[in-house]
Structure formats: C-alpha cells, structure tokens
Amino acid sequence: MAKMVKKVVKKKEGESSLKRTTATRKVTLSESELQSLIEKRAYEIFLERGCTHGDNEGDWYRAEREVRNKYKIKN
C-alpha cells in the first residue's frame, strides 16, 4: 500500500506567500502498519465516546474509513 502525502514548504523570510509550493512523496504502508493505525484510531474513538462498551464494530469501521481516507488507500 502506498500513500501520497502533501507537504507544505514553509515560506522563507522575505518570500511572497504566493511562492509557497507543495511537494508530494510516496509512503509505503504494510498491512500490519495499516492494521496498527486502524487499531489505534478505533481506541481513540472509544475513548472519545467516554469508554462506553457496545459499539466496537462501529468504532472499528469508522477508524478504518478515517485511516484509509487520510492515507488515500482504496479498499
């Protein structure tokens, strides 16, 4: 899996803000790295919900969707 990341290049002193550019670089995520990111985000969602049990699948699917969107990974 690979993702494209846009990186904003900081403006140098005295440089017009119109000269700001973006650079992209390709980052590779293994399946285990992707899984870890989803697990971490699902846990964060669980905490945001006040640690109430009963919606672990909903947390997981939301986390998976968010992570895949963030890293532009298609199913």
Per-domain residue ranges for the chain? 2-70
Tell me the sheet residues that pair with 23. Answer: 7
For residue 18, give the DSSP letter.
Answer: G
Give the pLDDT of residue 74.
84
Write out pLDDT tens, residues 48-72. 999 999 999 999 999 999 999 999 9
Q: What percent of the chain has pLDDT over 70?
A: 67
Q: Does the reported pTM lie above 0.85?
A: no
Tell me the sheet residues that pair with 25. Answer: 5
List, in sequence order, every beta strand (DSSP E) within the chain.
2-8, 22-28
Q: Does 2 have pLDDT greater than 70?
A: no
Quickly tell me which residue has 């989803």 as its tokens: 38
Mean pLDDT of 29-38: 95
